[in-house]
Amino acid sequence: MDGRLIGIARHGRPRGPIEILDHVHVSIEAGVSGDFRGAVKPGGRGKRQVTIMSREGWEQAMTDLGRDDLDWWIRRVNLLTEHVALPHKPGTILHLGSSVALQVTGECDPCSRMEEIAPGLKAALTPEWRGGLLCRVIAGGEIALGDGVKIEEQA
């Protein structure tokens, strides 16, 4: 079974409020439209344009934490998937919907902000890249909840 996109979020400034969306435009120039991290700075490589994590990883972190009352978006990632094993290999390409392609650039390490949200959350998100992936946009377009998520097979 192919994976699917089940969550979209953005925040317009550091520590700003999270906005939950049903659909959004993603571009090479700006990442997730309206998210402060998406724009590639002059001379930058766009290694953190879009962040993505899996529902399964989030649920395992919540189980380890002994909680079930925290929404996924408090992790402050842009996209939430389900039914797809997100790759732990930089360079891998993810396809979302009919046109968006993201290249994995690394692990989205949980920061100390997670401890402000819930003691132990940072440690619960650390194993097996549960905190998510950092990605660069290599093809833009529109994405919406329910869109398919596929991993491009590496040669």
pLDDT digits (tens, 9 = 90+) for 82-105: 999 999 999 999 999 999 999 999
Order the strands of the 23-27 sheet from edge to edge. 31-32, 23-27, 141-144
pTM (2 decimals)? Answer: 0.94
> How many domains are contained in the chain?
1
Position 1 confidence tier, pLDDT thresholds 50, 70, 90: low
* pLDDT score of 40: 79
What pLDDT does 62 receive?
Answer: 96
CATH code of residue 87: 2.40.33.20
- For residue 115, what are the domain limits? 3-13+22-151
136 strand-pairing partners = 103
Is residue 4 within 8 Å of residue 82, measured between CB atoms? yes
Question: From CA 128, how far away is CA 15, in angstroms rounded?
Answer: 25
pLDDT tens-digit map of 69-82: 999 999 999 999 99
The alpha helices in the chain, defined as continuous H runs, are 55-65, 113-117, 121-125
DSSP 8-state assignment for residue 29: T
Quick check: 29 pLDDT over 70? yes
pLDDT category, 112, cuts 50, 70, 90? confident
